[in-house]
Chain A
Amino acid sequence: MRLKRRGIKLLALFLGLSLVAAACGSDDNEGSGTTTEGTEAPDGSAGGDFIDLGTIVGDPLEHIDPALNSTLDGYQIINSIYDGLTDIDATDPASPKIVPHVAESYEANDDASVWTFKIREGQTFAGGEEILPSTFQRSWERAADLAGDYSYLLTFIDGGAERLDGTADTLSGVKVDDEAMELIVTLDAPYSNFDAVSGFQLFMPTPEEAVAAGEDWENQPMFGNGAYKMETARNDEEIKIVKSDEWAGDYNGDTWDDRLDSITFRVTADPDTSFNSFEAGEGDNGSIPPARVADIEGTYGNTLGVSILGSYHFVLNDRAPEIGGEENLKLRQAVSMAIDREEINEAVYNGSRTTSTGITPPGIPGFKEGICEFCTYDAAGAKALFEEWQAEGNTQAAPLPIQFNADAGHEPVVAIIVDNLAAAGIEAAATPIDGETYFSQLADGVCVICRAGWFADYPTYDNFMFDLFHSTSLDGNNFGFVNDEFDALVDEAKQTTDKDAQAALFQEAEGILLNDATMAIPINWYRGDYVYDEDKVANFPQTNFGLILWEQVKFAA
């Protein structure tokens, strides 16, 4: 999942400006600067109206319909309004677990090709309509009709592709028994992580009013089966959600009765404006501009300590003659080794991110530290590898272009990489390209070394390995990485039901990607970026999916 696109070229300018503000910032607000990660809410006052300035940063949200949204910002709101078949128990951030939620239980057959969900009795939408197995069937068909960015997930279900392309009227792989409260889903291919995917926004149940309204549902006062609902339609300035008394509770059945009465998500133009407004006392939280990290730590409460399941990396084009192919393997490895990831983290992000040792971040089940053998900074080693590559008769005809979308804050990262490569004797050139052109070119597969980023949709290893790097993936693998061994390992892992065996297969595949083929260069893993005033807000838990657990947010007593 992507963060909300900040389609505005001002951002880089503001990043520079915020240094000025940081310099004149006052330190008179004492605070511990601790991070809230846990899920046990400390004592605080009940209810209250929360003004959020840190979620919708940039343009107003394009979508807040679970069938249409594709941004993390939108999911923050959707996740408060709707509950899915399953949920993620992130109490232990290092090991999030999939747990039943609207389904009271679920099971898969031996090869994970047929999944049976037992829907909990007596659950209703805020409008009063009862939630039945057929509610899900209807909601998924609605999602197919609306054909949002994530509608490809329906192709995981038998008959999903046909329903999407209009050659079938129903999702043939979905069978419902409302009497027995059973939802039986036959998949297109065995998939042992379907329980994680089934709780994702696209598969959340929507009321019959949503079916009637179609794509206009998100422009009406939306309600679902979650802890909150809307009483007024969204506008470009704010989205307000209020407590829903019909909520059946979280996956533990806890209804968090003293949760906030309302949350108003206000649109702010960029992280600096968000932070300024927060400091001016206009809201209860804000977004952290990268240049203000040092100023915030020790002054305000923040979620900088939360590792977000997302990867910032560069992909290499296997088809590009200057970097791809077996003959350039040592060059690629030298490039990866030459990059000083710590320097990037300190200089660009004030140390607020985690330097990565692989693409898949910690917190994803099966994660293994240090998979990447060429991600540790070693200028001498990189130089030696580069010289070996040259000794094999290779020469650099032109500097390696390092391409990225311009004015989105990547310039300083690439500048450091170019310097690092020069120190190892490798010539490279920063090649900024305007955002839309860049992503079009990326989709057309014409990049050489290209910046990329990815946030986990759900806690599965395949959400990184399959979605980003498998040769048949619909998303992202447009840089020519086709490796039969890698594909076979990922395919096998997806179908493997034993979690340890599955993890080993994914790790082996990632090893091929990063070491044997070196087709991706991890740089860092993201961290939380919310700031709040600890004197006012007692609890502000952010999961490592980036989601705020709004039902657990509390004002100070």
Chain B
Amino acid sequence: MFSYITRRVLLIVPTVFFALSFLFFLFFTLPGDPVNLIAGGADRNPNPITIQQVTERYGFDDPLVVQFGNYWKRTITWDLGESFRTNRSVNDLLGDKAVNSVRLASWALILEVVVGIAVGIVSAVRRYSLADRFTTIVTAGASAVPVFVLGFILQYVFAVLPNKNDFPEWARIYTSRLGPDSWSLFLIPRGDQWRYLILPAVTLASVSTALAARMTRGSMLEVMRADFMRTARAKGLRERQVVARHGLRNAMLPVITLIGIDFGSTIGSAVLTETVFSWPGLGSAIADSVIERDLPITLGLTLAVVVAYSVINLLVDLSYAWFDPRIRLGQGEAN
């Protein structure tokens, strides 16, 4: 087990190297000359002198291979460089954004796990009941409504209308931004922070919660028909124990995979939610940097996302063994 974990952790190194190298070279195939853009050529024709100075300052006149080598030399020493456009340190930027993304993604994950799995179980156990039909409709709707539409409607209903109708202060929720940025134990919102967190977290969790509920229901229904469930009931276990100990644990593998992937993508790709709610996270910063051809930001922030993905994948794989003791990680390789 330990050697398995060590090998998987070491595998993150080539993953990060290939992902970022691929991005680095891909950047130079994008239309839109970065030098021209940095020199102010987004909608004007910049001064040739400015272009020349930008070229020299950022080393764009070096051969691509030299630029590539320099990039990795800096990255290995944890110097992610500075933004082409704002001159701000990417290390600092990463520190700010990653924390916000992880917090938002974690709360979306909590909602997804708690609500999604609970709804899925209820639907499966009470198949074709009113509750099942209701959740089927709601989850189908939640998967279909685009994130930015939901976000916009939530803003209007829970923030704009209460303000327009002079609701008391305790009933106010805010539409955008990080808010006071006050947290306990990294993750627990303190003071008014929850008023800023709740709408983006619900919005970000909406689609994935619906998918988790659907998948839990499907997976549970399949497991409920299995022989070992009948055996468990025959042993005289109560239905609740049958569902929780035997059903749920076996049905969780595909759900855990889905949730793991979701968590990774909500950290790095929550562009729409972050945009609608002006939440300063990694996803929108990466998207903006690509549009603005700000390579140091694109690569620096992507580095964090790739590492996060790799670690989450590892945790998901480890969790398989916990959910299903028949799985012995790394055994095939050892043999």
Contacts and interface: CB of A to CB of B under 8 A. Distances in A.
Asked if chains A and B come from one complex, the reply is yes
Interface of A: 2, 5, 7-8, 10, 13-14, 17, 20-21, 24, 26, 28-29, 59-63, 70, 147-149, 151-152, 155, 161, 164-165, 215-216, 218-219, 235-237, 266-270, 272-273, 276-277, 279-282, 434-437, 439-440, 442-443, 452-453, 474-478
A81 to B, nearest CB: 17
Given A10-B272, A236-B280, A276-B160, A440 B44 contact: no
B168 to A, nearest CB: 13
A17 B278 contact: no
B182 to A, nearest CB: 14
11 contacts: A59-B288, A62-B85, A164-B50, A236-B93, A237-B177, A267-B280, A268-B177, A276-B152, A280-B174, A434-B31, A439-B32
A161 B49 contact: yes
B49 A164 contact: yes
A235 B172 CA distance: 26
A148 B176 CA distance: 32
A281 B80 CA distance: 39
Contact of A151 (B33, B50, B85, B287): B50
A149 B53 CA distance: 11
A273 B156 contact: no
Given A24-B156, A147-B53, A151-B50, A273 B148 contact: no
Contacts of B175: 273, 276-277, 280, 282
A151 B148 contact: no
Contact of A14 (B37, B87, B148, B164): B148
B144 interface: no
Contact of B31 (A13, A436, A477): A436
A235 B46 contact: no
Contacts of B155: 273, 276, 280
Interface string B27-61: 00011110011011111111101101110000000
Contacts of B172: 280-281
A452 B43 CA distance: 8
A142 to B, nearest CB: 14
A236 B293 CA distance: 18
A269 B54 contact: no
A376 to B, nearest CB: 28
A422 to B, nearest CB: 29
Given A5-B43, A10-B148, A147-B53, 11 more contacts: A2-B42, A2-B44, A7-B291, A17-B152, A60-B86, A268-B177, A269-B275, A279-B163, A439-B42, A443-B36, A475-B44
B49 A10 contact: no
Given A164-B49, A236-B280, A276-B176, A440 B36 contact: yes
Interface residues of B, number: 58
A229 to B, nearest CB: 20
A222 B163 CA distance: 35
B126 interface: no
Contacts of B278: 237, 266-269, 273, 277
Nearest to B48: A474
Contacts of B40: 70, 148-149
Interface string B63-106: 00000000000000000000001111000010011000000000
A162 to B, nearest CB: 10
Nearest to B83: A62
Query: Closest 6 CB pairs between A and B?
Result: A149-B40, A436-B32, A280-B159, A281-B163, A7-B291, A152-B47
Contacts of A152: 47, 49-50
Interface string B244-283: 0000000000000000000000000000101111101000
Contacts of B275: 8, 10, 269-270, 273
A10 B30 CA distance: 21
A438 to B, nearest CB: 9
B164 A26 contact: yes
A8 B291 contact: yes
A544 B90 CA distance: 37
Nearest to A149: B40
Contacts of A17: 148-149, 152
A548 to B, nearest CB: 21
Contact of A476 (B44, B47, B149): B44
Contacts of B43: 2, 5, 439, 442, 452-453
Most chain B beta-carbon contacts within 10 A, residue among A28, A61, A164, A436: A436
Given A2-B42, A219-B88, A149 B50 contact: yes
Given A267-B278, A475-B45, A7 B50 contact: no
Contacts of A443: 36, 41, 44-45
Nearest to A214: B87
B206 interface: no
Contact of A268 (B46, B54, B174, B176): B176
B178 interface: yes
A273 B277 contact: yes
Contacts of A452: 43
Interface in B288-313: 288, 291-293
B208 interface: no
Contacts of A436: 30-32, 37, 42, 291, 293
Contacts of B176: 268-269, 273, 276-277, 282
A60 B88 CA distance: 12
Nearest to A236: B280
B139 interface: no
B204 to A, nearest CB: 15
Nearest to A215: B87
